[in-house]
């Protein structure tokens, strides 16, 4: 799950039982074939890959090896069921190699500032740079207009953050274009913590610009002092960063059966953060949908069901650096024209299904954009069925932008999914309902090196993978998918 989930889970507490359906739901006929030990076996392989690649499966570490493993499993065990393919795309990769340094000189007085106290780098600011005794220039109006940057050429721009009129990327890029040698964004008077956000286009794609100059976050007090003395103060700063554009891939498994005009996309990101192996985030979701594919491939011909709606199972790359794999897939689809876009009926997203201090969450359809509330709520109800059928408690979580459903929602495609929680703390009330530890994070190893196999809750993994299978089976084998999605009723699919 991408970093934005820390602030934007939008969790909706309370018992989340949906309206009583007209018909009683029935379980997936494949539920007894989906075995949790088989999912764990995939996780063990992904963990072994991470151990061979700096304890990580990020874009520049073990991701491609992880993608090769998924492809090998699909080709060996599901070749008759689905067509395996990849999508290649470019992504920007940034890393801070050494701590930045910043000092000022006013007349004969030199002051050294402390990293992570007085200032720190923004992610995706420019590659390694040293600037000595640079003049500074204040920029008005938060730097939202190119006109605000007329005087920054050859100087370090000093800009107050906090405008609703533009993001920091826009202001920094205006300064860079106007010839600034660097940018300092200082906190608004109400912000206490230094910012560590990305100075980059959110939906970056190949050909989009990147920042090539140093960009730092500084405290409100430091920024204010620099502005007051801008004509008599110079700055010296050093940054040590790497900034590269790398190739990566999505892995796709498209069923050979089913009508294309009711296509469903079932996705889970396969990459981890550089800091850890990502067994919960998101080895759990990607391993679960892999074993679901293999289960369907092995057993569907012997069942009374058939695939009626084409399904695309997707293992997204580069989710942890901005949902870039899912964004690429949706952008490519939209680029094929309206007919291709209309064929896509919905997206299901499975990101983090085995948090150790878990709460079972179903994404709340009412948190989708207004035109998508009805179909997304139908997906919410369908995903809730499994918990009701097995008398398992659950809660709802909003779809606020922290995972790969976002690019689909942005293009008017309904979405839903499951998760078990990241950095949010479990409440006392949740402890009573779900067990575990109150006032502790749902995943205490979220985005850390300790997100290993020992961090995986097998209980959560079994519950959530079975719920996912239940919904996927119904969606893929339905005769009336579009009618069901558009009809605001409690009718069972």
- Could you list the active site residues? 319
3-class DSSP state of 435 = coil
Residue 217: alpha-carbon gap to chain centroid: 24
Strands (E), 256-356: 259-269, 309-316, 344-350
| Rounded CA separation 92/246 (Å) | 6
| Rounded CA separation 360/301 (Å) | 31
Contact 323, 270 (CB under 8 A): no
In order of 19, 413, 443, the CA distances from 343 in angstroms are: 29, 10, 37
Cα angle at 301 between 297 and 304, to 5 degrees?
125
Which two three-digit tokens encode residue 88?
A: 């290649």
Which residue stretches of 36-161 are H helix?
36-51, 63-77
The values of phi and psi at residue 73, to 5°, are: -65, -45
**Secondary element (H or E) of residue 298:** helix 285-299
Contact 474, 264 (CB under 8 A): no
| Rounded CA separation 361/16 (Å) | 9
Beta strand 259-269 pairing with 156-160: unpaired
Q: Tokens 């069972």 appear where?
A: 492
**How many C-beta atoms lie closer than 10 Å to residue 234's C-beta?**
18
């Amino acid at each position: 799950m991408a970093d934005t989930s820390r602030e934007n889970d939008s969790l909706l507490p309370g018992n989340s039982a949906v309206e009583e359906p007209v018909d009683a739901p029935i379980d997936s006929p494949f539920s007894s074939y989906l075995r949790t030990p088989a999912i764990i076996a995939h996780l063990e392989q992904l963990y072994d890959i991470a151990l061979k690649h700096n304890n990580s499966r990020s874009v520049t570490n073990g991701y491609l090896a992880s993608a090769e493993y998924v492809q090998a499993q699909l080709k060996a065990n599901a070749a008759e069921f689905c067509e395996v393919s990849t999508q290649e795309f470019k992504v920007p990769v940034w890393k801070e190699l050494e701590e930045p340094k910043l000092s000022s000189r006013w007349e004969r007085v030199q002051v050294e500032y402390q990293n992570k106290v007085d200032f720190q780098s923004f992610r995706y600011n420019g590659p390694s740079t040293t600037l000595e005794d640079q003049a500074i220039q204040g920029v008005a109006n938060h730097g939202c207009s190119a006109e605000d940057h007329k005087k920054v050429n050859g100087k370090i721009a000093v800009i107050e953050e906090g405008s609703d009129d533009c993001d920091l990327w826009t202001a920094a890029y205006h300064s860079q274009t106007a010839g600034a040698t660097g940018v300092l964004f200082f906190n608004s008077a109400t912000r206490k913590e230094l910012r560590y956000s990305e100075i980059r286009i959110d939906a970056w794609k190949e050909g989009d610009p990147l920042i090539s100059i140093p960009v730092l976050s500084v405290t409100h007090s430091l920024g204010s002092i620099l502005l007051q003395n801008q004509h008599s103060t110079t700055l010296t700063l050093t940054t040590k960063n790497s900034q590269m554009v790398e190739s990566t891939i999505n892995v796709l498994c498209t069923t050979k059966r089913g009508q294309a005009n009711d296509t469903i996309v079932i996705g889970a990101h396969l990459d981890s953060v550089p800091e850890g192996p990502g067994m919960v985030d998101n080895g759990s979701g990607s391993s679960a949908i892999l074993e679901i594919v293999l289960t369907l491939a092995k057993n569907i011909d012997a069942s009374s069901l058939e695939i009626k709606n084409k399904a695309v199972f997707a293992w997204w790359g580069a989710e942890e650096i901005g949902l870039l794999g899912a964004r690429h897939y949706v952008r490519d689809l939209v680029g094929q024209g309206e007919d291709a876009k209309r064929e896509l009926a919905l997206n299901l997203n499975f990101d983090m299904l085995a948090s150790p201090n878990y709460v079972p969450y179903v994404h709340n359809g009412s948190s989708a954009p207004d035109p998508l509330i009805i179909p997304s709520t139908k997906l919410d109800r369908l995903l809730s069925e499994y918990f009701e059928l097995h008398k398992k408690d659950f809660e709802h979580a909003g779809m606020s932008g922290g995972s790969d459903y976002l690019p689909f929602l942005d293009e008017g495609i309904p979405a839903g999914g499951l998760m078990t929680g990241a950095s949010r703390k479990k409440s006392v009330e949740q402890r009573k309902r779900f067990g575990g530890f109150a006032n502790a994070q749902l995943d205490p190893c979220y985005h850390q090196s300790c997100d290993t196999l020992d961090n995986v809750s097998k209980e959560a993994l079994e519950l959530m993978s079975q719920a996912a299978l239940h919904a996927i089976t119904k969606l893929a084998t339905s005769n009336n998918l579009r009618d069901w999605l558009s009809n605001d009723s409690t009718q069972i699919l």
